[in-house]
Structure 1
């Protein structure tokens, strides 16, 4: 099996602009930032470093990519938005939407982040790679076509899907978003279409506050092709696996996609500062194994994971390593130093039964 790993050093250089004091230190060195956003380069950089130390990186096909072109971006984002983004980026940075600050050069870095997603999807669709992981930064699943949102400036996954469709590489794509926050941008872009199935597992009432309802199923041709599973705060390992088995896998089986793309956030972890869920590195590994198996069954194994959120510098590396090792069928492990303690802190049997019953209730409402 050949698993691709798409990354670029420059994506670590995305900075918080007006939310953090960023000191330029030259065009060939990462800017220095004092304080700032939870979305910072260290979670991603420490994941990469861990993979290098354990030897997992050496088992992957490591690649970079070209930035998304203007034509790539225009398939999702209107010209006026792209022009405003580029103008402000060239002027030193700023903010165009909600919680989306960026520094000078932010446009080019965001285009590169989208380009990594495009390249990963294309390589898997063509059969050059069996599956792939794109370490895209800044993330993308909150970005609306004309309004950036929640650290997301360009809709990386949607841009990659449209690029692959334009080349005739895919027809029907399923997007599973297990980031702890609702994938409102991806949902909005494909809400009235039946050629992309969107599924979001997220903490109910987290971010955004006004999206992600179970009743939001799509419009027009897209009616029934959007699935939201707003999960209770405190959901842990067993509840997440039950959500996959009870809702996600049956929905994928019914849809029969050509490719599955996962919006892979690690912010459902038990120690994430922006959420209240109790997933562990083991949870993410087992979810990956389940999705990988269904991808093998439905679409020849064509599976791409695109990095989204996850804000614990201490724990994201272990969650990511477990996920990518599962994706690559690797025997290399990075033992979770918190595993024993996190197992003890999982929901009580009574609460876990309540969580699983609530998922069963939602599955019934979704006719799954």
Structure 2
């Protein structure tokens, strides 16, 4: 059975009066309502609501989670960082890194978000469920051990992996990140760890600007930077020709997917053209491979995705595929988004780049 881990308290994470990514001032009029983060709770809350309306949530093993303990947080984050974060959180909030504002109680909510991923990982590793989806918020894949970054305050996936390892539940783990932004935090944490493979498929030079390039000499990491405008065909080809062979060769005991849904066509923070069907198809690719190499053990940890209207349909497609469910939420934009996919010339250009990366590997 598929597990679904979520907690309403994660939706209460807030960045305060913060006009993210918008240079308010001068001739730029303030955003309505005083501003706010593109990473808001509505994309996640509306996903839960959509699953309730369709009935999909009734087919899942639904659980909450507990905050990661300080002992477990220290496996990735140094004490000085945790102390500074807790102090600022208790004092009403603030910002410690780059584009990572938080309000009062932000520390506890971030520890809960990491805990949801950790509990999902352990439930799958203990055989309590076949696979699981953690609706974690705030996200985590940009967070370095001592430097929060890009909405990410704690390294959710790394924390989950290290706690599971400390409890003797796994050793060799692969992390596949298909958020449209490069998973620089996860990559940096595991750069020197031969037992953790990190793979990131992302729009090149989106965010961060200085990381995510393809490297031929990387041993435990694979970056797949895709050009702006990449759509369904390119994403599935990148999976088939680069990602799946690397995962198969690595042979992990568990695959954790950093499931950002911001590569979708209407997302305000990307210029890629994936659809709900793209995410469903990539999920099926991962599940089929996992069935062959690691007993089907897959955990999805929610990352980015900033279209309030479309993220729920992408997430629903992923979770329904994980559960083998016939309960679908028909994509109301499917016909229009098919028409907006790249033409054959662009696809040929993008596939040639993918083939060049495959040859270099």
Q: TM-score, normalised by structure 1?
A: 0.93
Once the 2 structures are TM-superposed, how far is the Cα of residue 353 of structure 1 from its aligned partner? 1.1
Matched, 1:97 2:97: yes
Runs of 4+, deviation exceeding 3 Å: none
Match 2:234 to one of 239, 244, 251: 239
d(CA) in 2 for partners of 1:42, 1:130? 28
Q: Tell me the equivalent position of 1:300.
A: 295
Once the 2 structures are TM-superposed, how far is the Cα of residue 47 of structure 1 from its aligned partner? 0.5
Matched, 1:313 2:308: yes
d(CA) in 2 for partners of 1:93, 1:62? 31
Q: Tell me the equivalent position of 2:190.
A: 190
**Alignment length (residue pairs):** 349
Match 2:257 to one of 257, 262, 265: 262
Specify whether residues 9 and 235 from structure 1 end up closer, same or farther in structure 2 by C-alpha distance, changes over 3 A only.
same
d(CA) in 2 for partners of 1:291, 1:314? 26
Tell me if structure 1 keeps the 8 A contact 2:18–2:34. no
Q: Tell me the equivalent position of 1:5.
A: 4
Residues 43-69 of structure 1: per-residue CA shift (max 9 Å, x gap): 000001000000000000000011000
Correspondence list, 1:70-85, <5 A: 70-85=70-85
Q: Tell me the equivalent position of 2:30.
A: none
Tell me if structure 1 keeps the 8 A contact 2:17–2:35. no
Q: TM-score, normalised by structure 2?
A: 0.95
Tell me if structure 1 keeps the 8 A contact 2:56–2:327. yes
Once the 2 structures are TM-superposed, how far is the Cα of residue 17 of structure 1 from its aligned partner? 2.7
Once the 2 structures are TM-superposed, how far is the Cα of residue 207 of structure 1 from its aligned partner? 0.1
Tell me if structure 2 keeps the 8 A contact 1:18–1:95. no
Q: Tell me the equivalent position of 2:329.
A: 334
- Secondary structure, in 3 states, of the residue corresponding to 1:17? coil
Once the 2 structures are TM-superposed, how far is the Cα of residue 245 of structure 1 from its aligned partner? 0.3
Matched, 1:142 2:142: yes
d(CA) in 1 for partners of 2:174, 2:186? 11
Once the 2 structures are TM-superposed, how far is the Cα of residue 357 of structure 1 from its aligned partner? 1.1
- Secondary structure, in 3 states, of the residue corresponding to 1:133? strand
Residues 130-185 of structure 1: per-residue CA shift (max 9 Å, x gap): 00000000000000000000000000000000000001111100000000000000
Once the 2 structures are TM-superposed, how far is the Cα of residue 35 of structure 1 from its aligned partner? 3.2
Matched, 1:354 2:353: no
Specify whether residues 217 and 326 from structure 1 end up closer, same or farther in structure 2 by C-alpha distance, changes over 3 A only.
farther
d(CA) in 2 for partners of 1:217, 1:161? 25
Q: Tell me the equivalent position of 2:23.
A: none
* Structure 2 unaligned residues grouped into runs of 5+: 21-32
Tell me if structure 1 keeps the 8 A contact 2:67–2:108. yes
Q: Tell me the equivalent position of 2:158.
A: 158
Q: Tell me the equivalent position of 1:167.
A: 167
